[in-house]
């Protein structure tokens, strides 16, 4: 019995001792953690924070930046797509109608300017060759007649030449040449204007704008038709109730039913028109992306200039002949040289034949055939038109097959020169105000991760895409080696020419805490106080600070997350204590 009481006493003593030890361990838990980290909570007039030992600072890798005013240049990095330039895209057509007899290139082939890419058998060319041969034969004939008349002339009588007629002919030739020169100036101005419009994107964009407007109108019409249908349906339901109740006549009910059916038909028609307008907008957008409108307009302007230059060359030859005949007429009249009427007529006939030969030769040159050349004559006597590459480039598309008939408007191949390329970046609506022509651009593509391409913004679109809420910003980039290919996606860094002067700190110094942004500022060695800040959008890795930091403050950049966690741990331990 005594033993049991003693055992019970020691048991109660041991339990009481264990309870005391347990209570003491829990009470000392927070002070021990703080002692191990060497950190403690601090508070001053500017806020709360943490005081840390030099060892803890080194372990956390804490780095500081002194806040100060800085000039920040805004940048953005939209995604862009590479495409050929308008002037670097050419649709090659035949100079005259005919049949393709040989196609010498395929899609993907690299060609040089002046290289023959196809041969065309053309009736027009064969007629031009025949005309040249006829003109040459006639010129030889009248030359022989002139030589014969000179031999037979002997002592001919003086002949009063029609000087006035010759003067008028020379004057008319001068007027024709002057008119040609004026037209060529107009053509060149038109070509320059077309090139400028293409560079600005006006020609390529106009059909897209028209299609966009048409689509918007079609959508509006469809909405109006659906509203009218709803109204007609409601009216029909109302009249049916009144008709069933005997308040309305059958004629009134049928009229309402007819109006409803008409509204249904109008909605179907409006929906069809909307779908067609959307398809046309998609088609025009595809044409715009492939730069086909600009290439076609440029080719038309160049063709007009070439045709007028061809006519000018022939008129220059006729002008020289007219002046030569006028001078000869003056010489004959004033010098009294004996000449017969037959010789004069033969001379005039020869001069006219020479002009005819020159004109026929110019026509052949326009078709790409050298007059008098027989290298391209086939065994059957027919002559082929060579289709020459107008630029160095890659065959992006081939639309010709041997045996097909073609004309001057049928594209045979599309050539793309990649010495320069467009990079069309899509900039979001909220960033529109930060982009302007002349802004610097740096381009990266995933295929060339270590290569940077630089350029400047050349064109900023005037409209926002309704689907993506973005606008197109176009940059022209030099492309040595043609390493940038159409269709590649690129990261485009656009730097604005406008700068902002403000107190700035690195973006990584700012941390999100709930619904606010905070930074840590060292107020004394080892003491870091948390401050709430208001900052702007990041610019080139920095953020402008509107409030919370002043110039000269030492702001924590590296290790700020560690300080934040340390403060949270200390505050949690304090609240438990």
Q: Residue 204: its pLDDT value, please?
A: 61
For the domain made up of 36-72+502-576, the CATH class stated in words is mainly beta
Q: How confident is the model at residue 7 (pLDDT cuts 50, 70, 90)?
A: very low
* 101-153 pLDDT, tens digit each: 899 999 989 999 999 999 888 887 778 878 888 888 888 888 887 777 666 55
Q: How far apart are CA 74 and CA 126, in angstroms?
A: 64
Residue 275 CA from chain centroid, whole number: 26
Residue 254 CA to residue 265 CA, distance in Å, equals 16
| 483 three-state secondary structure | coil
Name residues whose C-beta falls within 8 Å of residue 384's C-beta, 6 or more positions apart in sequence. 101, 102, 119, 120, 121, 122, 125, 376, 378
Please check whether residue 37 is in contact with residue 573, taking contact to mean a CB–CB distance below 8 angstroms.
no
What does the alpha-carbon distance between residue 393 and residue 403 come to, in Å, rounded to a whole number? Answer: 25
| Distance in angstroms (rounded) separating the CA atoms of residues 328 and 39 | 114
Neighbours of 28 (CB within 10 A): 11
Q: Is pLDDT above 80 for 396?
A: yes
Q: Is pLDDT at 157 greater than 80 in this prediction?
A: no
Band of pLDDT at residue 498, cut at 50, 70 and 90: low
* Distance, CA of 288 to CA of 291 (rounded, Å): 5
For 563, half-sphere exposure in the C-beta direction (CA atoms, 13 angstrom radius) is: 34
Report the range of poorest mean pLDDT among 145-159, 268-282, 315-329: 145-159
**For the chain, what are the domain ranges?**
36-72+502-576, 89-122+376-416
* Domain 36-72+502-576 shares a fold with domain 89-122+376-416: no
Task: Give me 547's structure tokens.
Answer: 């409030």
Fold classification of 89-122+376-416 (topology level): OB fold (Dihydrolipoamide Acetyltransferase, E2P) (2.40.50)
Burial of 135 (0-12, 13-18, 19+ CB in 10 A): buried
The radius of gyration computed from the CA coordinates of the chain, to the nearest angstrom, equals: 44
Q: Is the pLDDT of residue 20 over 80?
A: no
pLDDT of residue 17: 37
**Pair 415, 111: CB distance under 8 Å:** yes
Question: Which range, of 85-94, 428-437, 479-488, averages the lowest pLDDT?
Answer: 428-437
What is the spatial distance between Cα 345 and Cα 325, in angstroms, rounded to a whole number?
11
Exposed/middle/buried for residue 205 (C-beta within 10 Å: 0-12, 13-18, 19+): buried
What tens digit of pLDDT does each residue of 428-438 get? 877 777 688 88
Higher pLDDT pick, 276 / 20? 276
Nearest by Cα to 532 from 551, 552, 502, 511: 511
d(CA 455, CA 70): 25
Interior/surface letters 296-313, b for 16+ CB within 10 angstroms, e for the rest: bbbbebbebbeebbebbb
């Amino acid at each position: 019995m005594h033993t049991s009481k003693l055992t019970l006493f020691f048991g109660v003593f041991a339990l009481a001792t264990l309870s005391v030890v347990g209570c003491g361990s829990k009470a000392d838990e927070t002070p021990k953690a703080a002692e191990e980290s060497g950190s403690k909570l601090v508070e001053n007039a500017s806020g709360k924070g943490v005081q840390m030992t030099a060892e803890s600072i080194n372990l956390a890798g804490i780095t500081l930046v002194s806040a100060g005013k800085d000039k920040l240049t805004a940048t953005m990095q939209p995604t862009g797509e590479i495409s050929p330039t308008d002037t670097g895209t050419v649709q090659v057509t035949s100079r005259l109608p005919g049949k393709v007899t040989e196609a010498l290139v395929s899609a993907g082939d690299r060609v040089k300017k002046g290289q023959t890419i196809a041969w065309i058998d053309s009736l027009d060319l064969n007629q031009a060759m025949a005309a040249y041969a006829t003109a040459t034969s006639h010129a030889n004939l009248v030359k022989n007649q002139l030589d014969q008349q000179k031999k037979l002339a002997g002592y001919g009588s003086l002949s009063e030449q029609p000087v006035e007629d010759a003067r008028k002919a020379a004057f008319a030739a001068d007027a024709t040449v002057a008119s040609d020169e004026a037209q060529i100036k107009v053509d060149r101005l038109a070509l320059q204007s077309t090139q400028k419009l293409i560079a600005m994107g006006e020609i390529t964009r106009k059909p897209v704008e028209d299609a966009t407007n048409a689509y918007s109108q079609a959508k509006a019409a469809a909405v109006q038709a659906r509203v009218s249908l709803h109204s007609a349906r409601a009216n029909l339901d109302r009249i049916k109730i009144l008709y069933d109740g005997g308040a309305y006549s059958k004629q009134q009910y049928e009229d309402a039913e007819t109006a409803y059916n008409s509204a249904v038909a109008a909605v179907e028609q409006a929906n069809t028109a909307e779908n067609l307008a959307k398809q046309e907008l998609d088609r025009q957008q595809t044409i715009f992306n492939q730069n086909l409108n600009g290439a076609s307009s440029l080719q038309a302007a160049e063709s007009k200039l070439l045709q007028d230059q061809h006519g000018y060359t022939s008129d220059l030859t006729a002008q020289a002949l007219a002046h030569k005949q006028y001078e000869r007429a003056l010489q004959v009249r004033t010098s009294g040289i004996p000449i017969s009427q037959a010789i004069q007529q033969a001379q005039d006939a020869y001069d006219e034949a020479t002009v005819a030969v020159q004109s026929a030769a110019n026509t052949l040159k326009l078709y790409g055939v050298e007059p008098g050349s027989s290298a391209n004559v086939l065994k059957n006597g027919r002559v082929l038109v060579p289709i020459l590459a107008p630029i160095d480039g890659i065959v992006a598309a081939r639309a010709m097959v041997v045996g097909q008939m073609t004309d001057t408007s049928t594209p045979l191949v599309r050539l793309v020169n990649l010495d320069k390329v467009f990079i069309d970046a899509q900039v979001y609506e909220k960033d529109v105000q930060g982009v302007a022509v002349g802004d610097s651009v740096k381009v990266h593509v995933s295929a060339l991760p270590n290569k940077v391409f630089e350029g400047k913004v050349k064109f900023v679109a005037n409209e926002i895409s309704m689907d993506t809420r973005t606008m197109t910003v176009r940059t022209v980039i030099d492309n040595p080696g043609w390493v940038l290919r159409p269709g590649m996606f690129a990261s485009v860094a656009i730097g604005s020419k406008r700068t902002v002067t403000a107190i700035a700190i690195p973006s990584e110094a700012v941390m999100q805490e709930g619904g606010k942004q905070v930074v840590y500022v060292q107020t004394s060695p080892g003491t870091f106080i948390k401050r709430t800040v208001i900052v702007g959008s990041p610019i080139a890795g920095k953020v402008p600070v509107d409030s919370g930091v002043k110039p000269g403050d030492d702001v924590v950049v590296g290790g700020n997350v560690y300080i934040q966690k340390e403060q949270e741990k200390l505050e949690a331990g304090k609240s438990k204590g």
